[in-house]
Amino acid sequence: MVVATRLARSLSLASATRPTPAAGPFSASRLSFSTTRSPCAPTPDGDNQEGSIADVFSSLGGDAFVPLEPRFASLKQSLWHDGLIESWRSVLSALEERTAEIVERGNKVIPQVSYRDIRDGVPPALAEEIKRVGTVVVHDAVELGEAERWKRELEAYIKRNRDLAKGFPADDPQVWELYNSVQQTQARTHPGVLGTQKALLSLFHTSSPDSPVSVNTPISYYDRLRIRFPGDAIFALGEHIDGGSLERWEDPGFRSCWREILAGGPEPHERHDPWDLSPRLDAKTSLYPSSGQCSVFRMFQGWTALSNTAPGEGTLRVFPDVSLATAYLVLRPLFRPRRGREGKLGFDDWEVDVESTDFPGSVKGKGQELSDKTHPHLRLPETMTSVPRVKPGSSVWWHCDVIHSVESQHLGAEDSSVFYIPAVPLTVPNAHYLAAQRARFAAGTPAPDFPGGEGERRFEGRATVRDTHEGSGSAGRRAIGAERFVVEEGETPGGRRVVEEANRILGFS
Ligand SMILES: [Fe+2]
C-alpha cells in the first residue's frame, strides 16, 4: 500500500505511517526528473542545496501524513454554495462520456502537427483541438539530423568531463545535472523551437490588454536533460500537476483562475477558460516552504526529443482534456464517497464534504498528486494516454494544468532522450529570473531553480553566449537575455510595458 493520500486515509484504505518506498505510482524507486519543474516559488538568490524530485512530491519522499489544520475545513465552507451540486453532477456526467471516448481512441486524441503548419500561426480548428486536449506533439521544427548531432556531441561533452559530471542515479546517471552545454543552448535558441514556443504562447489570451505579459516574447528556461536507458524502470513518476497544490484553493489569486468552476451551475468545464492568462499572473502557486519548484511563470511544459521514442518506451502520459480534468480537480475536495459506497462512482454514491480538512492529493509545499484512489472519476489507469511516437527533433508540449506522468518502464531498444524545454513568456518576474539565470550561465553553474554546486564551471567546452543558434540571430540571443528585447507588432499595452521593464532589469536601457 503506497498511495497515502488524505482521502485514502479518511476511508481507512491506507495507514497513516510512512509509505513503503519500494513500489507504487509515487515510490522513491520510480523517480523521474522528466517533469519536475513547476511554477512558481520566489527566485532564490543564493546557492541552492542538493535535492531531488523527492522534494517536489510528497509520496516520493515518503512523507508521513500530516492532517491539515481546521482552517482548511473553513476554507471549504467559504467556497461552498448549493449551486456546486449541479456543477459536480455535470462534471461527473461529462467525465463518464469523455473518459470512455479517451479509452476508445487512445493516443489518437493527442494532436500532432508539422511545424510548417503552425509557424505562421495555429489554424483555428487545430487551435481548438489543442486547447481542448492541452497537449500537442510538434514534428520537424528541428531537423532530425541536427537533433541526432546534438545527442552525439552531448555524449562526447559528458565523456570529456566525466570526472566532474553528476547526475541521477549517481553511479550511472540517466538524468544529468547539466544546464550549460553547447547543445542545450543550441536547442533552446533553435529558430524552430522559438517559433513553436511563439505559436503555442499565442493560444493564450489576456482578458485585459493591460495584463503585464508578452506572449510574443518567449524566453529560455534552463532545465536538465535525460538519457533514459532501454529496460529502465527507475525513472517513473505518477500522475501529478506541477505548480503547487493547496494554493489552487487557498490563494485568492490562484483561486480566481477557477472562478467559473466555483461559480456553480451546469457545465463549469465549458465555461472555464484555461487559456486566459490574466488571472494567472496574480496567482501565488507556492505559499509554503518548498524546494524543486519552478520560479518562472510557465505556460507550457515541454521537451524536445533526441531519440526515437514510442509509447511503452518510457515516454510522457497525459490526461487529454485539460478543462474537464481541472473542473473535477477543483470540485473534488468538496465531495466524498458516502460511507459504505467507497469505490462507486455514481452521483448518488457521493456526498458534500465541507466538514473535513481533506484536500485529496494536496500536501503543503508539494506538487498536486492524483491517483485512482484520490480522483477515481478520471479513470486514470485507463485514460492516462501516452504521447505518440516521436523522432529526434520532435517536441511535446503540455499546458501547465495538464495531469501528466511518466511511463513506469522503458521497454524499447533505444535510449529515450530529451532536453527539457518549456514555453515561457516574458513577464517582469520572469525577466528577474532571466537575469539571474544569465549570471549562472556565465559562471557555468546550475540555473537558479536547481540544486547548486559548481555545476559545469570547470567543464571543458561548456557554452557561452556565442553559442546560440546561428539560425535565430537576435531572437536566440534575446531568449537567453543576451540582447535587448523589442516590441513586436501587435503587442498589447501591458506587453509593451513588460518589454521596456525587462530591458531595464537586464541592463539594456
Ligand atoms: Fe511534472
Read off the pLDDT of residues 365-390 as tens digits, 9 standing for 90 and up.
888 999 999 999 999 999 999 999 99
Q: How far is the CA of 404 from the centre of ligand 1 (A)?
A: 6
CB 361 within 8 A of CB 371: yes
Q: How far is the CA of 175 from the centre of ligand 1 (A)?
A: 15
pLDDT greater at residue 128 or residue 42: 128
Q: What is the three-class DSSP state of 322? A: helix
pLDDT greater at residue 27 or residue 506: 506
Q: Which residues of 299-325 are buried (b: 16+ CB within 10 A; e: fewer)?
A: bbbbbbbbbbbbbebbbbbbbbbbbbb
**pLDDT average, residue stretch 30-56:** 39
Q: What is the three-class DSSP state of 412? A: coil
Instruction: State pLDDT tens for residues 144-163.
Output: 999 999 999 999 999 999 99
Taking the C-alpha atoms of residue 317 and residue 178, their distance in angstroms, rounded to an integer, is 24
Residue 446 binned pLDDT confidence (cut-offs 50, 70, 90): very high
- Please report the pLDDT score of residue 366 as a whole number: 86
What cell does 380 get?
Answer: 486514470
Q: How far is the CA of 40 from the centre of ligand 1 (A)?
A: 13
- Please report the pLDDT score of residue 408 as a whole number: 84
Q: How far is the CA of 293 from the centre of ligand 1 (A)?
A: 10
- Mean pLDDT (the chain) is 88
Q: How far is the CA of 317 from the centre of ligand 1 (A)?
A: 11
- Tracing cell 511563439 back to the chain, one arrives at 198
Contacts of 145 (CB under 8 A, 6+ apart): none
Domains and CATH numbers, the chain: 6-208+219-425 (2.60.120.330)
- Among 178-187, 228-237, 418-427, the range scoring the smallest mean pLDDT is 228-237
Taking the C-alpha atoms of residue 195 and residue 141, their distance in angstroms, rounded to an integer, is 8
**For the residues of 354-409, what is the DSSP string, one character each?**
-SS---TT--TTSPEE--TTTSGGG-HHHH-EEPPPB-TT-EEEEETT--EEE-S-
Contacts of 315 (CB under 8 A, 6+ apart): 309, 386, 387, 390, 406, 407, 416
- Tracing cell 498511495 back to the chain, one arrives at 3
Q: How far is the CA of 355 from the centre of ligand 1 (A)?
A: 31
**pLDDT average, residue stretch 174-181:** 94
Q: How far is the CA of 493 from the centre of ligand 1 (A)?
A: 33
Q: How far is the CA of 106 from the centre of ligand 1 (A)?
A: 21
Taking the C-alpha atoms of residue 122 and residue 202, their distance in angstroms, rounded to an integer, is 8
- Please report the pLDDT score of residue 50 as a whole number: 52
**For the residues of 65-85, what is the DSSP string, one character each?**
P-PPPTHHHHHHHHH--THHH
- Please report the pLDDT score of residue 55 as a whole number: 52
Q: What is the three-class DSSP state of 237? A: strand
Taking the C-alpha atoms of residue 422 and residue 281, their distance in angstroms, rounded to an integer, is 17
Q: How far is the CA of 405 from the centre of ligand 1 (A)?
A: 7
Is the predicted pLDDT of residue 330 greater than 50, yes or no? yes
CB 128 within 8 A of CB 323: no
Q: How far is the CA of 130 from the centre of ligand 1 (A)?
A: 19
**pLDDT average, residue stretch 334-355:** 96
- Helix, strand, coil percentages for the chain (3-state, nearest 5): 35, 15, 50
Q: How far is the CA of 315 from the centre of ligand 1 (A)?
A: 13
Instruction: State pLDDT tens for residues 263-316.
Output: 999 999 999 999 999 999 989 888 887 766 787 899 999 999 999 999 999 899
Is the predicted pLDDT of residue 51 greater than 80, yes or no? no
Give the CA count within 13 Å in the CB-facing half-sphere of 12.
Answer: 2
- Please report the pLDDT score of residue 38 as a whole number: 32
Contacts of 31 (CB under 8 A, 6+ apart): 52, 53, 54, 60, 168, 234, 235, 236, 237
- The DSSP call for residue 229 is P
Q: How far is the CA of 33 from the centre of ligand 1 (A)?
A: 8
Nearest to 407 by CA among 236, 223, 242, 232: 236
Instruction: State pLDDT tens for residues 403-445.
Output: 999 998 888 888 999 999 999 999 999 999 999 999 999 999 9
Q: How far is the CA of 406 from the centre of ligand 1 (A)?
A: 9
